[in-house]
Structure 1
Amino acid sequence: MAINWLSVVTIIGVILATATFGILATRIVRTTSDFFVASRTVGPLMNAAAISGEYLSAASFMGVAGMMMKFGYDVLWYPIGYAAGYLFLLLFVAGPLRRFGAYTVPDYAEGRFNSHNFRKLAVIFVMVIGFFYMLPQMKGAGVTLESVLHVPYWVGVVVVGIVITMNVVLGGMKGITFVQAFQFWLKLFAIAVPIFIMLAIFGNYRQHVEVGQMLEIPHFLENQTLTYKAETHLHFNELTSLTPQQNGRARTQAGAEISLVAEHPLEVAAGELVLIDANRLFFEQGQSVPNAPTGQNWGSPFGPLTGDSNSTHGLSLLYTYSLIIAIIFGTAGLPHILVRFYTNKDGRSARHTTLLVLALIGLFYLFPPIFGVMGRVHTPELYASGTTDSVVLTLPSKVTPEWLSLVLGAVVAAGAFAAFMSTFSGLLVSVSGALAHDIYGKILKPGASGRSKRLAFQLAAAASGCVAVIFGLFVDKFDINMLVGWAFAIAASSFFPMLILGTWWKGLSKVGATAGVLAGGILSSVSIILTMLLGEADATRSSGSIVRGIDPLIATLLAQPAIWSVPLSFLTMIAVSNLTYDQIPEEVNQIMLRLHAPETLGLRTDYINEV
């Protein structure tokens, strides 16, 4: 496929616009408060657009559509959960958090429980969640440039990492506020306009589609030659003919080893075929597409792992409930989102911001699932290549005339680039703020000047960006949304219980809060890391990453731990707090008053107040 040079131009335009905002921000960023919380002067609409731009990551722009195509209607829980999480922020967290007036989540942890040690623990989990959430942004960067420029995956990871890190180093929080607000509107335009145009061109406005049509086995719409790595699993739904392009070996579902002879057609029965050696396979138009979920596997709302008709998992409903818990509660525990509420003027403004965010992201999430459904019909070859995450970038190429295809491709490429750029920026600010403000400014050098803290922030951003790039090189085999689900699970298991109980229950002791964060955060992190290291994560399979060879219940609870780690964290905090009632801060009543008293009473004072 030829390079869409118009896409290259739009991507360069997004990069230049982002860099320009960062450079201009250096002229208005003068204080420490500018760097960390934009001097707490951001209005509700601007902040809502910035939060939406930061929140709508590669998982939202590309991952939801890719998983919708790959797994079916069950993944509608992703966009619903992403939006619903803000209800908890609106009702329980946003106002009190802003009234407390800190810079970071560790500030809140220390101020609420009067504990320097708890601050250190909170810093650790800010970095863990931040780096976990950076991984899908790096995956999105690699996939986008790989699709648009046909360059290796690592090129996209490195280029995006350098550009965004530079922008954060230059502008801090005040710089990226304008960038993220701009990028939200760009992403909304890039996801919505192509949908309306493609629906009109493909005839879906007028065409009546029977449910059975969507559940049929997809077939190649044109001849395709696909490249596969060694040990790739291919699942065929019916008798299929393919032609190897080089000699090699394969293993049938029965365990028999067969030889693949170059240029000699081979008929494969329904079932699984494992390519022992790397190979290139030719499929004729009309042949069944391997790894495409069919029937109830694609059309039933039971869970992401039901997409594999040959799955040994069997507990998809449990996985789905766990996923819902992770993405709804995890939203209220994401440190890079929470820090944005500190940029509002007061608690009332923070609540208005949250309400606007609900409207903005709710509007956005109407469109990615449509991309996924249309991709199943018009780009079925993505199942066979294991690249459903790129359906948003690939689908416009099916549009005619060619000039319109190029224009739409350029628009969605710019939107995809903006998606991971804005989220990665926010994550870098969050992690760098934790390192510079909480570790350097509060632990290593408590008397540091504002200038030295800003320098520490810039150095931390540069170092964190490099680490994210390195880790991002090794996650190309995981689905974008699966990586995001893991980050949300850790956030839901650590910060969410601490914020809810710490804000609304004065009986929470510092020992109880510490024990709960440790229990939920560590155990969920260990479960996820075990799944990443030991589980199968072949992108061509529709079963996701899961540890095989153990009890399905245990495998499910490891793959998505939120269903047990979140209750465990809550119960641990409550139980330990009841046993350590003497560890509740003496000034807890004053703290609760600061969190909940209306601004009109004039009782609010910022916990951190620097210039």
Structure 2
Amino acid sequence: MTPAIGLTALVVVAVATVLVGFYGLRISRTTGDFYVASRTVPPWWNASAIGGEYLSAASFLGVAGLIMISGSNALWYPVGYTAGFLMLLLFVAAPLRRSGAYTIPDFTAARLGSLAARRTTSVLVILIGWLYIIPQLQGAALAVRITTGLPGWAGSAAVIVVVVLAVMLGGMRSITFVQAFQFWLKLASLAVPAVFLVLLLAGRGVPDLAGAVTAGSGPELPAGSLGAPDGGYRTFSLLLALLFGTLGLPHVLVRFYTNPDGRTARRTTVIVLGLLSVFYLFPTAFGAIGRLAAPDLASQGDALAILLPERLLAGPLGTALSALVLAGAMAAFLSTTSGLLVSVAGVISQELFSGSVRGFRVSAALSALVPFSLALGVGPQALAGSVGLVFAFTASTICPLLVLGIWWRGLTPAGAVAGMVAGALACGGALIASALIASGALGEAVQHSFLAVACAQPAAWTVPLAFAAMLLVSRASGGTVPRGADRFLVRLHSPEPRD
């Protein structure tokens, strides 16, 4: 792919995103439009938008690269990413919509009546949003660098500029249009090349994609990685992070506030499950095809999906298909980053600017600067793995708050704060320790110990710790259960009257 073709693919998606955002601006006028699209988004549209923002760089590029390297061991990632929405359907979607809140901190304040709990939640939502944006910017830097020859920071900067512009134009109403469009673009940009490549392999008499996924696990892997001898603990911890982490993703949760009522929120979640199940067939196919037909691309990791069509199909067709994948990758970076920016900007605006439309726009610009600066200073990592760690953090902080806040009357403000702080400190400390261990700062022996695995995949112990802290402290401070807890829980679990 020539730099001109790669640049054209990126620019087309960016321009289309801004134009769709302008369309959203035409009908975004009120505060409700900017924060929750006036709660009028129908299920199919909202499900497409959720798919657009949820299917990040880790899903679009990272899953294919992991399957290329690790084979069937990496299938836990798409399984966990999808099954997390089943947890949302069962425990969170409809009650959260019935809460009537604009943001997760709003829910915390309404449920617990505590400024300390609200502010703790706000800090965590902002931190999670920033941590999740960083892999998207790194993915953009990778895509721009390998396809255009431009420096990686140009890709990160382009994503930030386009997303901030789209978010400031029309808020949630605008982003709903953008993300729904980008989901179907992402699906097509993987499905069309995958079909061509499968037909190519079938014509060569090499159709066993399932066998390619299950055959071997690629090169030798470090402790805690896919396919390593300690994979039992690692797999359990990863699944726990993905299942429970989905319940704490602020940019996904805020989407349920845009549904008209709890029933449509539940219906939206069911549709999302179907859309994700279809989507993940294609990055899995890319990984399997890579293992069969281009094993040397394993060293390219996250770039596999972009490079594979042009490698296997010579001429203009291969170039066009690689450009299509690149366009879908750009849509992934933009849609996920925009959803995260909306959720972070909403919280900052509510806390610092009284929730005004102007405050939302200022917050959107301010909240983009921190992850952009960090992305420039942090070295590249495997996209799916780095996003998986963010899931572990959300599973250890926001998830216990929502599950217990929705389903247990006895949750107290002190218990909520204690659980969130305990989970954040434990998970954050484990990830810092993991980085030190990987660098060799704590000695070579520690690198091959179970401690290294427990820190690299901490959800198996940090999630129970957060729940336990929340439960025990709430029990100890049982006299401070909010007076309106019973009334609020009835509201969460009472179905709306049918029209």
Q: TM-score range by the shorter chain?
A: over 0.9
Residue 467 of structure 1: how far off its partner (Å) = 1.6
Q: Output one character per residue of 1:570-593: Cα deviation in whole Å (capped at 9) or x when no partner.
A: 111111111111010111110111
Q: How does 1:342-491 map to 2 (within 5 A)?
A: 342-383=257-298, 386-441=299-354, 453-491=356-394
Q: Relative to structure 1, is the Cα distance of residues 215 and 60 closer, same or farther in structure 2, using a 3 angstrom cutoff?
A: closer
Residue 13 of structure 1: how far off its partner (Å) = 1.2
Structure 1: runs of 5+ lacking an equivalent? 218-290, 308-313, 442-449, 538-544, 603-611
Residue 446 of structure 1 corresponds to none
Q: Relative to structure 1, is the Cα distance of residues 431 and 418 closer, same or farther in structure 2, using a 3 angstrom cutoff?
A: same
Kindly indicate which of the two structures has a greater share of residues assigned to strand: 1
Residue 303 of structure 1: how far off its partner (Å) = 6.8
TM-score in terms of structure 2 length:
0.94
Q: How does 1:71-470 map to 2 (within 5 A)?
A: 71-203=70-202, 206-207=205-206, 209=208, 293=219, 304-306=225-227, 314-383=229-298, 386-441=299-354, 453-470=356-373
Of the structure 1 ranges 196-205 and 569-578, higher mean CA displacement relative to structure 2 is found in: 196-205
Q: Relative to structure 1, is the Cα distance of residues 164 and 585 closer, same or farther in structure 2, using a 3 angstrom cutoff?
A: same
- Please say if residues 382 and 391 of structure 1, whose CA atoms lie closer than 8 Å, have aligned partners that are also in contact: yes
SS state at 2:16 partner: helix
Is residue 13 of structure 2 the alignment partner of residue 14 of structure 1?
A: yes
Q: Give the letter aligned to residue 365 of structure 2.
A: A
Q: Output one character per residue of 1:473-495: Cα deviation in whole Å (capped at 9) or x when no partner.
A: 23343110111011101110011
Is residue 499 of structure 2 the alignment partner of residue 578 of structure 1?
A: no
Of the three residues 432, 439, 442, the one matched with 1:529 is: 432
- Please say if residues 58 and 420 of structure 1, whose CA atoms lie closer than 8 Å, have aligned partners that are also in contact: yes
SS state at 2:248 partner: coil
Q: Relative to structure 1, is the Cα distance of residues 213 and 98 closer, same or farther in structure 2, using a 3 angstrom cutoff?
A: closer
Residue 316 of structure 1: how far off its partner (Å) = 2.6
Of the structure 1 ranges 97-106 and 458-467, higher mean CA displacement relative to structure 2 is found in: 458-467
Q: Relative to structure 1, is the Cα distance of residues 548 and 465 closer, same or farther in structure 2, using a 3 angstrom cutoff?
A: farther
CA distance in 1, matches of 2:4, 2:200: 23
Of the three residues 428, 439, 451, the one matched with 1:554 is: 451
The alignment of Structure 1 onto Structure 2 pairs a total of residues equal to: 498
Q: Give the letter aligned to residue 472 of structure 2.
A: A
Q: Output one character per residue of 1:82-119: Cα deviation in whole Å (capped at 9) or x when no partner.
A: 00000111011000000011000000111101111111
Of the structure 1 ranges 160-169 and 91-100, higher mean CA displacement relative to structure 2 is found in: 160-169
Of the three residues 486, 494, 497, the one matched with 1:589 is: 486
Of the three residues 419, 437, 445, the one matched with 1:516 is: 419
- Please say if residues 82 and 331 of structure 1, whose CA atoms lie closer than 8 Å, have aligned partners that are also in contact: yes
CA distance in 2, matches of 1:347, 1:326: 26
CA distance in 2, matches of 1:440, 1:200: 55
Residue 3 of structure 1: how far off its partner (Å) = 1.4
- Please say if residues 109 and 122 of structure 1, whose CA atoms lie closer than 8 Å, have aligned partners that are also in contact: yes
Kindly indicate which of the two structures has a greater share of residues assigned to helix: 2
Residue 154 of structure 1: how far off its partner (Å) = 1.8
RMSD: 2.5
Structure 2: runs of 5+ lacking an equivalent? none
- Please say if residues 349 and 360 of structure 2, whose CA atoms lie closer than 8 Å, have aligned partners that are also in contact: yes
Residue 505 of structure 1: how far off its partner (Å) = 0.8
Of the structure 1 ranges 4-13 and 315-324, higher mean CA displacement relative to structure 2 is found in: 4-13
Residue 607 of structure 1 corresponds to none
Residue 201 of structure 1: how far off its partner (Å) = 1.4
Residue 407 of structure 2 corresponds to 504
Residue 260 of structure 1 corresponds to none
CA distance in 1, matches of 2:254, 2:209: 47
* Identical columns (%): 43
- Please say if residues 224 and 456 of structure 2, whose CA atoms lie closer than 8 Å, have aligned partners that are also in contact: no
TM-score in terms of structure 1 length:
0.77
Q: Relative to structure 1, is the Cα distance of residues 214 and 428 closer, same or farther in structure 2, using a 3 angstrom cutoff?
A: closer
Residue 36 of structure 1: how far off its partner (Å) = 0.7
CA distance in 2, matches of 1:420, 1:513: 33
